[in-house]
Amino acid sequence: MNIKNMYTSMLCILGLAFLTWIGAAVPAVPLLQVFPILILIAVLDVFPVRMLSGTQYSGSIIGMVLLLVAFGPEASSLGIFVSVSACYLKDRFSSKADSYLWFRAFAIYGIFGASAFAAHKVLLYAESLPLHLQIFMTTLVFEAVHVFLLAGLMKTVYRAPFFWNIRNKLMELVLPLILCTLIVPHLMDDLNWISMTQETLFFLFWAVCIIFFSRKYLMQAELRKKTIEEFIQLYESKLAKHMEGHGKRVGRICEELSVHLSYPLKTRNQLVYAAIVHDIGKVFLSPHLFVKRGALSLSEEAEYAEHSKLGHDIILSFFEDQHIALWIKHHHERYDGKGYPEGLTGTGIPLESRILAVCNELDHLMQTTSSDEKVHQMLRSLSGKALDPALLDGITPERISQLRRMLGAEQQISPVMPQLPQDQDGYEPSKAEQSNYIGKTYMLEYSDGTLSGEGLDLPLDEIGMIAGISKEREKSFYEIMEYGGCTYESHFFYDPAAVRIFIIDITPLLIYREKLHLNTMRSYQDIIETLSHGKISIHLSENEVLEYLGTPLGAMDVVERKDVPLSRAYVCDFIWHPQDTKKQMSIKLAVTEGVTNMIKHANQGKVSVHQKGGVLQVLIQDKGSGIPLHELPKTILVSGYSSKRSLGRGFSLMCTSSDHVVIHTSSKGTCLLLEFEIHEPAPAADPMNERERIV
C-alpha cells in the first residue's frame, strides 16, 4: 500500500489550492441563508444511513448540489469544506485515526474540489434547460468525476484495477441522482432564511427517523451474525482447540477485503455469512483428522475433502440458499485446477469461492506466522497456483498488519500442529519403547514413473500409484498399507526431482500394543469385579462375549436418535412376565441409557436380545473408538461422576437398573451386555413379526 505517491500528492496540492480559494470566496457567501444547509450536511456526514450491505450513505450530496445550483460555486465549496472536515474530525477521534489521516483529508478536498468545478461548468452550459434536467446533469457529472478520481486513488494506493467493478459503481449513482432531482427543486422554491430553516428541520426530522430505524434493523442483522459466529466457534472448539474462532476471523477478513475488492454491495452480506460458515461441513468428519500429527493419509485426505460438499448439503438443507451453498462447495478449488471437489480452474471457479480461498489461507498464515512480511511472501508464492493472482493485488504487509490489529491476533500465534491425544487406555508408549517394536525399514525413490531402491518385494503397484499422486499434486503423503500379513507405515516425501519413500514395518508395534491392551484389560478385570461386587465383568475379546450369550430372540440396527424409543419398545416386547412393571421400567431405563450413549459416542450400532435360562440379555454393539477403562473405577466409586469420554451417569444408571453387566471394549468398538433376571420361560415368538409390528 503506497499512500504517498505522485497521484495522491497532486490531489493533495489540488486540495490545498481549493482550500485557499475557499478562504478567499467565503465573504461572497450569504452565510445566514446557507447556514441551515451547512448544518444539514454536517449532520448527514457524521451520522450516515447504514445500509444492510455494510456501506454508509450520507446524503450530503443533496446539500452540495443545492448550494451549487442556488448560491453558486463559492457556497458549494464551503459545503464541501464542512463535509470533509466533519468526516476528518469523526475519523480523528475514532479507531481509524493514523499518521496519514491529514494527507488523505487534503487529497479528498482535491477530489471534491475537482468534482464541484466540473459540475459547475456543466451547470453553466445547461442554464437554458429545465431545472430538473439541470440538477440531474449537475449531479451526474459531480458523482461521475468523483468516482473517476477515486478509482485513480485506488489504483495508485492499493494497485486495484482501474475499472474494477465499474458497473456496480455506476449503479450506485442511481440513488443520489434520484434524490437530488426530486428534492433540490423543492428546496429551491423559497430560498429565504426562515423557509430554508423550516425545510432543513423538516428534512432533518425524517433523516433522523430513517437513521434511527435503519440502525435498529441493522442491530438485529448484526445480532443474527454474532449468533452464527458463536455457534460456529462453539463447534470449532469441540473439534480441536486450535480451530476455535477460525470462521469468525475469516468472516472479518472477508468483510474487509470485500470493500478493498469493491465486491458488489448486493451480495456482500451473503459472502460474509458464507465466510463465517465455510467449514461447517467439518462437523460430520472424524475428530482425529484435526488433532493428528504429520500428514494425512490418502484415505484421510479423501475424507477431509468431503467437508466442502457436506457444507454445501447443510446450507441447502437448513438455509436453502443455493448461492452460499455453491460458494462453500468450491472454496477449496485451486486456481491451477488441482483443488477439490471438481477440479475447477481459473475463472471457472466462482469469484466468491476464490475470495473465500484467499481469506481462508490468509487466516491460516496469520495464525501460524508472526511476521507480516513472511505472510505476504507465502501468500504471493501461492499466486496462480492455489489463489487467484488478481485477488492478491493490494494485499500488502501493511494491510496484513491492519488485519492483525483488527482481529487482535498478534498474541494468538498458534503452533502448526496440535498436541496428540492419549490413546483410549490413557497410555502413550515412549519413543524408546516404540523403537524396540519396529520392524524392517525401506528406502525407495520414485522418478520418471519408476521405483528404485530397497524392498522391491513390497506392493509396487500401490506404492507407485501413491508416489504418482504425490508427484502430480506436489504434496507429501502418509499411508498405512497391509501386505503379506504385515502392516506398513509409508511416508511419501515430495521433491521436484523425485518422490522419496520411507516405509516402516509396524507389525511388531501393533502386536505389542495389542498385548499391552490385553494386559491392561486383565488388570482391570479384577479391579472392576471387586469394586462392583461381581456386578460388572470385563471380557477380553468380542468372541468371549458372543460365546457367553444365550439363545438369540431378535436384533435391530440403531442409526439415529429416533431409534432409541424404538429399541426400548423392541426389547420390552420380549419380556415374558410383563406384569412386573418395576422390572419393565428398569429394563427400559437401562436400554435407553445404553443406546443413547452408543448414538452419542459411536453414531450407530446394533441391539440384539437373547435368553439364557431365566435371564434376558440385551447386547448393545458399536464400532466406535471404545471406552477408556481407567474411567470405570471412578464411575463406580464416585456417585454422579462423568467426563467427556466416559459413559458417566448413564453407566451408573445402567448398573443400578441391571442385574449384571458385561463389557468388552477396544479401539475397534464396544460390546455392552445388560442382563436382567426374569424367572419364567419365554413363549415362542417370531422376532421378525415383532419388529414389523413395532415399526
287 plus 356 within the same structural domain:
yes
Query: Could you list the residue range(s) of the whole structural domain that residue 610 is in?
Result: 511-694
577 plus 667 within the same structural domain:
yes
482 plus 539 within the same structural domain:
no
Task: Work out the angle between the directed axes of helices 581-602 and 648-657 (0-180°, nearest 10).
Answer: 150
Give the CATH number of the domain where residue 530 resides.
3.30.565.10
Q: Is 667 left (phi over 0), alpha (psi -120 to 50) or beta?
A: alpha
Identify the band that residue 168 occupies on the pLDDT scale cut at 50, 70 and 90: low
DSSP string, 90-125: HHHTSTT--TTHHHHHHHHHHHHHHHHHHHHHHHHH
Distances (CA, A) of 560 to 159, 494, 601: 54, 42, 12
98 plus 23 within the same structural domain:
yes
Note whether residue 143 is domain-resident: yes
Helix (H, G, I), strand (E, B) or coil at 611: strand
| pLDDT tens by residue, 341-380 | 998 998 899 999 999 999 999 999 998 888 889 999 999 9
- Report which of residues 93 and 675 the model is more confident about: 675
- Statement: residue 55 has pLDDT above 60: no
- Is-above-0.85 flag for pTM? no
Burial class (CB in 10 A: 0-12, 13-18, 19+), 206: exposed
| pLDDT tens by residue, 169-209 | 677 778 788 888 888 888 787 666 677 677 777 777 776 77
Give the CATH number of the domain where residue 388 resides.
1.10.3210.10
| pLDDT tens by residue, 214-228 | 666 666 666 667 777
109 plus 258 within the same structural domain:
no
382 plus 459 within the same structural domain:
no
Structurally, the chain folds into a number of domains equal to: 4
Burial class (CB in 10 A: 0-12, 13-18, 19+), 134: buried
Average pLDDT over every residue of 468-478: 80
Cell of 359: 481469506
Average pLDDT over every residue of 277-303: 77
486 plus 520 within the same structural domain:
no
Bridge partners, 56 (sequence order): 50
Indicate the residue among 505, 539, 560 that finishes a domain: 505
196 plus 100 within the same structural domain:
yes
* C-alpha 199 chain-centroid distance: 49
Task: Work out the angle between the directed axes of helices 687-694 and 563-572 (0-180°, nearest 10).
Answer: 140
Q: CB-based contacts of 384: which residues, under 8 Å, 6+ apart?
A: 335, 336
482 plus 554 within the same structural domain:
no
DSSP string, 338-404: --SSS---GGGS-HHHHHHHHHHHHHHHHHH---HHHHHHHHHHTBTTTB-HHHHTT--HHHHHHHH
| pLDDT tens by residue, 379-425 | 999 998 999 988 888 788 888 888 888 887 434 444 443 333 333 33
- Statement: residue 118 has pLDDT above 90: yes
* C-alpha 555 chain-centroid distance: 41
279 plus 399 within the same structural domain:
yes
496 plus 593 within the same structural domain:
no
92 plus 191 within the same structural domain:
yes
